[in-house]
A and B are shown apart, each in its own frame.
Chain A
Amino acid sequence: MSDPMDFLLLTKGPLFDLAITVFALGMAARLLEILINGRRPNYSEARGGQWLPGLRTVLTRSVPDPGTFKRAPFNVVVGWLWHLGFIVTLLFFIPHIALIKSLLGISWPGLPNPVVDLVTAVTLVALVATLVHRRTHPVKRRISTLEDYLVWTLVFLVVLSGYLAYNRIINPYPLALGLHILSAEVFLIVLPFTKLTHIFTAFIARWYNGASFGRRGVES
């Protein structure tokens, strides 16, 4: 690897292929395993439906209830802020849409770049705030594992490198773009094997919970 352009082409070519392979293999295996295993057969008589409570729980567990909000407003607000920011940037930045289209063949309208830029900046600040909170909050600090920090670092690096590349703060641009792509690739490779999997499993889990409550006739 002799220069920034070589580096960019390495990240856009072989490294991307590797990352997308590991990601697709790992993620498909895990998802299918979860779906096939499903739940133990329940021989008791169902007291209620499953679908509706399941879907309702997907919603209710996603929106914080007032009690949670009162107890931990920071977690709720900042958590929402950066999750939303991450999703908006990932799915509505035009170059990302072009990439998704090349992989999956589907696309949708994007957002103007300055909007995405602002959202990215807010996401970065929110991410830093979560780290500070994690390090200063006595309970959170105790329950944080090495994996938590690894995941935080990866998410932060992906967003930060994207921000630096778009605003051309690192030069030359091929180096900046290459660093962004590389960090996204590490993110993709690690995703199926860490708690980052929740990107795909969070809603399945919520649905399972709600459905099992519904079956038992418990209010979800």
Chain B
Amino acid sequence: MRVFEKNPLEKGLAERLREHGVSRRGFLKFCAATASMMALPPAMIPAIAAALERARRPSVIWLSFQECTGCTESLTRSHAPTVEDLILDLISLDYHHTLQAAAGEAAEAAREQAMRDNHGNYLLIVDGSLPGPDANPGYSTIAGVSNYAMLMEAVEGAAAVIAVGTCAAFGGLPAAAPNPTGAVSVMDLVKDRPVVNVSGCPPVPMVITGVLAHFLTFGRLPELDEYHRPLAFFGQSIHDRCYRRPFYDKGLFAETFDDAGARAGWCLYRLGCKGPSTYNACATMRWNSGTSWPIEAGHPCLGCAEPRFWDAGGFYVPLSVPTGPAQDYLLAAGALGAVVGGVVATSARGRVKAEAAVRQPVTVEELEQKL
């Protein structure tokens, strides 16, 4: 990965790949992977190859706000040569806190220069949420500039904004109740530029690079769902693609993490799996270069790609269980109801008794006289 390098824009991709020791065959394989991860037919592979070969390296500015660096870790935790490496070779990552060699004023100068040189054309990637315009800006600053001011300045000249990770996409853990820093998502603030949300805590690396590959290939952003997430990766739920689904359908569930059911690979719904309400690509792309993924490793899905997964009740509580103290309410209300019922019934009995005491008996003769 070359960060902060002067752009050799004149060099074609093929040449750069050869320099990296990637063969033509390897490159086509990468294009095939890109096509499949973008859910495109194999017939598109040559078109993708041609487009990527012609592609000029766009400038990318990566801003990190209130985050844990997990998203960058995710992106870089893969083995060479991978799609991720190739993609990073296709862009000019001009500013990225964690990955760049420069620091301090030099780093900020690089960002400002990239913004000036590529005004209107660069891709802005953001990870982390940020204190909103009404929050105390001091909660998160870079070189003395508030996150909010830096984002707004960088958005000005951006062609598109990619919010990487659930924090940038939906607020994430920093926004968890009671949200002390007033954290908001990128989408909450950026209204006049296309925003793509690559959610996940962290996102699947191939999904990050898949979106970049799509942009490089077609010159535009992919189709999005209602949460601005690329449909190609977030179109299906974890549950729909989960290999444990047959067990769910048969009603076979692990009850604890070490029972016979867990060992037999049964469904993790009862252990709190949020797969049914979570849309992400883990089940199909898997993690660590396709090695495995959480549910395969025996852990329920936490729903990390969904808004508010952090406040959605316990991670190990089944999806159908209410998130509030419903059990206490049930007991308290039941007890109160019993008291109310008792009072009503007793007063009714009392009324009957009272009326019986003052009743005026009527004889048959009296009744007949009235007739």
Instruction: State the A residues within 8 Å of B (CB).
Output: 3-6, 8-9, 12-14, 16-17, 20-33, 35-37, 94-96, 98-99, 102-103, 110-114, 168, 172-174, 177
Contacts and interface: CB of A to CB of B under 8 A. Distances in A.
B42 interface: no
A3 B99 CA distance: 35
A21 B329 contact: yes
13 contacts: A9-B312, A13-B323, A13-B324, A17-B322, A20-B322, A25-B337, A25-B340, A27-B334, A37-B345, A94-B270, A102-B322, A172-B226, A177-B277
A36 B330 contact: no
Contacts of A4: 226
Given A32-B342, A102-B317, A113-B249, A26 B337 contact: yes
Give the interface size bracket for B toward A.
35 or more
Interface string B275-313: 011010000000000000000000000000011100111
A9 B321 contact: no
Nearest to A173: B277
Given A24-B330, A172-B226, A30 B321 contact: no
Given A36-B342, A36-B345, A102-B321, A111 B335 contact: no
Given A20-B326, A33-B345, A25 B334 contact: yes
Given A24-B329, A94-B270, A99-B322, A9 B308 contact: yes
A163 B279 CA distance: 20
Contacts of B332: 21
Contacts of B253: 94
Contacts of B277: 5, 8, 173-174, 177
Which of A3, A6, A28, A112 has the most chain B CB atoms inside 10 A of its CB? A28
Given A9-B312, A37-B349, A112-B249, A24 B334 contact: yes
A112 B250 contact: yes
A191 B47 CA distance: 62
A21 B333 CA distance: 5
Interface string B330-355: 11111111101110111011000000
Which 8 A-B pairs rank lowest in CB-CB distance, beginning with the nearest? A28-B337, A32-B341, A95-B320, A36-B345, A29-B341, A24-B333, A98-B318, A25-B337
A20 B329 contact: yes
Given A113-B248, A113-B251, A172-B226, A24 B337 contact: yes
B237 interface: yes
A209 to B, nearest CB: 20
B212 interface: no
Nearest to A114: B249
B27 interface: no
Given A16-B324, A103-B330, 19 more contacts: A5-B308, A8-B277, A20-B322, A20-B329, A20-B333, A21-B329, A25-B333, A25-B337, A28-B337, A30-B341, A36-B345, A37-B345, A95-B320, A98-B269, A102-B321, A103-B326, A112-B250, A113-B249, A172-B279
Nearest to B348: A37
Which of B227, B337, B349 has the most chain A CB atoms inside 10 A of its CB? B337
